[in-house]
Structure 1
C-alpha cells in the first residue's frame, strides 16, 4: 500500500452571509475573480473572491435555485431550479437571454461541455437533457435512470457525460449515440455527488454508504475511498490539482482526503452562524477555485464559507497517522 502524501489541514478563512435561504450551489468564473451562488431565496448572487463583497444579485427564478455553471468560452452563465426553468444569463448585461424548455419537473443539476456548445441538465423527471446553447433546441433526452438525477459531470473525452441518480446508479453516456454504454450499480444509496479529477482520467462518486473511485472510460471500479463511519449523506465532492479530495455531508462535517490512498487527513465540523439552529449545519455544495487553494462551501445556515490551507502546519505539527491495511481486510460497514 502506498503511503499517503502529506497535505496541510484546511481552516476557515471567511464567512459570507447575504442569502435568505439555504445556499444550494456555487460556481467560479474562468478568470477566478468572482464566484456565483444560488439559494433557496430564488436569487443568484455574484461575490468578489478576494474581498467577499457582494457584486450583484440576480432575480428571475420563482423557486429555489439548485444548480449554476459559468461558461469558460462565452460570457454566459446558466442556472437551473425547482421551477423547471433552465436560464441562460448574459453576464455583460446581467439579463436572462434564453430559456430552455422541456423538463417536466424540478431541475437539480447542470454542467457545460468543455469543448462543445452544449449544456446538460438533470432533474426530478429522471432524465438528462442535452441542449444546444445557441438554438435552445433539445439535442437528446437521455433516459434510463429510475429516479431523480442529482449530479452531472461533463468532459471532452469519453465518457462525455456522467450522471449520478437517487436510484443509486451512475451512468456513463455516449454523447454521439445518445445512450448509456455503462451503468455502475456498486452503490447502495442514492448518488448525490460526483467529482472529476482535474488532471487524471478518473472520477469519484459519493453516496451515504461510501465514496468510490472509478477509471474512465469504461467506469472500472478502482477502490472505496472512505467508509463513512457515521452514515451521513454526502451532498457534494470536489478534487483539486494537489490530489486533495473533499466531501461535504448533511450533518455539517467536511472530510479532506488524499486522493491516491483515501487517507482522511483532516475532518472539519462546520459551525452554524449565530441565530441558526444546530440542525442547520449542513453542506449542500462545495467547489475549489481555479487555483485549488480556496474551497467554497454552501451551507444550510444560509452562509457561504471560504476555506484555505493552514500555512503554519508542517509534517511535524500534523503528522500522518496512517497504518497500512491489506486489501480485502478493511472494515466493512
Structure 2
C-alpha cells in the first residue's frame, strides 16, 4: 500500500488513466496532480485558478477534463499539461464531469441544477438538461452512450435520454442528498449512494430498487429501554446511531 502525498488541501476527485498506469487527483489546493500508479511518484502538477471538484480522463487517455468552483470546464493535454479549451455556461460550481464512451461528448453536472452536454472537439454546448431545482453532484453515462444518470440534492436518481433531452425515469427511495451514482457495465443496473448512509441497487428498466446496502451504525440494535440516567437528547443521539428502545 502507498500513500501519495503532495496536495495541501481536500482532495475531491481521483481517477485512473484508461491504461491503468497513472492516477489523477484534483484538490481544493487549486491543483491537479498526475501520479505514477506503480511508484507513487508525482509526474506532473497542473495549476488551476480555483478549487478542483471533478476530473475525468478521456477514454483514449489523451485529454483531461476538470471542473470546479470557477464554473468552467477545462480540457488539458495529459501528456504536455497544455490547456486546450475552456467550456463556459454553468452558473454554479461544477461537481461532476463525465466522458461519453466514444470520447466525443462531455457531460457536466452543476449546482445550477443543469446537465450540459458538450462537443469535446469544438467546445460547443449541444444541450442543457434542466434537472428541476436539484444541485447535481454526480453524472454518469450508460455503457451504450445513449442515456445519462444524475444524482444530487433532491435524493433522486434521474435518467435522461441524450437524443431527446427527456427525463425518462426518476428513481426514488433515498432520504437525503446523493453524492454518487454508477452504471453497471452491462447496463441493466445502477448503484447510488448518499447521506442516508445507504447504497441502493436499481434495475434501470423498471426503476425498482433491488437491494439496499447499509453499514451497521455504532449502536445498531442496542436496546436502551432499561437504561437509566439518559436525557431525552442522549437517547435521541443513541437512536440516531442505531439503538432501539423496546420494552
- Place the TM-score, normalised by the shorter chain, in its bin: 0.7 to 0.9
Residue of structure 2 equivalent to 1:170? 157
Tell me what 1:91 maps to. 78
Contact 2:97/2:109 (<8 A) preserved: yes
What displacement does 1:216 show? 2.3
TM superposition shift of 1:226: 1.8
| Partner in structure 2 of residue 23 of structure 1 | 11
Alpha carbons of structure 1 residues 200 and 133: separation in structure 2 relative to 1, 3 Å:
closer
**Deviation sequence 1:279-315 (CA, Å, 0-9, x none):** xxxxxxxxxxxxxxxxxxxxxxxxxxxxxxxxxxxxx
Residues 111 and 217 of structure 1, relative CA distance in 2, 3 Å threshold = farther
Q: Is the 8 A contact 2:33 2:46 kept in 1?
A: yes
1:40 corresponding residue in structure 2 = 28
Look up the match of 1:77.
64
Where 2:175 maps in the other structure, the secondary structure is coil
Identify which of 175, 180, 201 aligns with 1:213: 201
Q: Does the 8 A contact of 1:58 with 1:94 survive in 2?
A: yes
**Cα shift at 1:73:** 2.8
Q: Would the aligned equivalents of 1:46 and 1:56 in 2 still touch at CA under 8 Å?
A: yes
The equivalent of 1:125 in structure 2 is 112
Q: Find the aligned partners of 1:86 and 1:158 in 2 and give their Cα distance.
A: 20
Q: Which runs of 5+ in 2 are unaligned?
A: 220-242
**Higher mean displacement: 174-183 or 154-163:** 154-163
Aligned match of 2:172: 185
Aligned equivalents of 2:97 and 2:72: distance in 1?
12
| Residues 1:171 and 1:228: Cα distance change in structure 2 (over 3 Å) | farther
TM-score (normalizing by structure 2): 0.83
Distance change in 2, residues 1:71/1:158 (3 Å): closer
Q: List per-residue Cα deviations over 1:147-184 (Å, max 9, x = no partner).
A: 21011111233762000011111100011101211111
Aligned match of 1:109 = 96
130, 143, 150: which one aligns with 1:143: 130
Aligned CA RMSD, in angstroms, stands at 2.1
- The answer to whether structure 1 residue 53 and structure 2 residue 41 are counterparts is yes
Deviation of 1:108 after TM superposition, in Å, equals 0.7
1:158-216 Cα offsets, whole Å, 9 max, x none, are 76200001111110001110121111121110011112333462121012222110122
Q: Provide closer, same or farther for how the CA distance between residues 46 and 214 of structure 1 changes in structure 2, counting only shifts above 3 A.
A: same
Whether the 8 Å contact between 1:159 and 1:217 is mirrored in structure 2 is no
1:161 aligns with 2:134: no
Tell which structure's C-alpha radius of gyration is larger. Answer: 2
- Unaligned 5+ runs, structure 1: 1-12, 232-330
Counterparts of 1:144 and 1:168, CA distance in 2: 12
Higher relative contact order, chain-length normalized (CA < 8 Å, sep 6+): 1
Whole-Å separation in 1 of the counterparts to 2:134 and 2:202: 22
Structure 1 stretches of 4+ with a deviation exceeding 4 A read: none
SS in structure 2 at match of 1:26:
strand
TM-score (structure 1 length as normaliser): 0.62
Q: 1:179 to 1:230 in 2, by over 3 A?
A: farther
Moved more, 69-78 or 30-39: 69-78
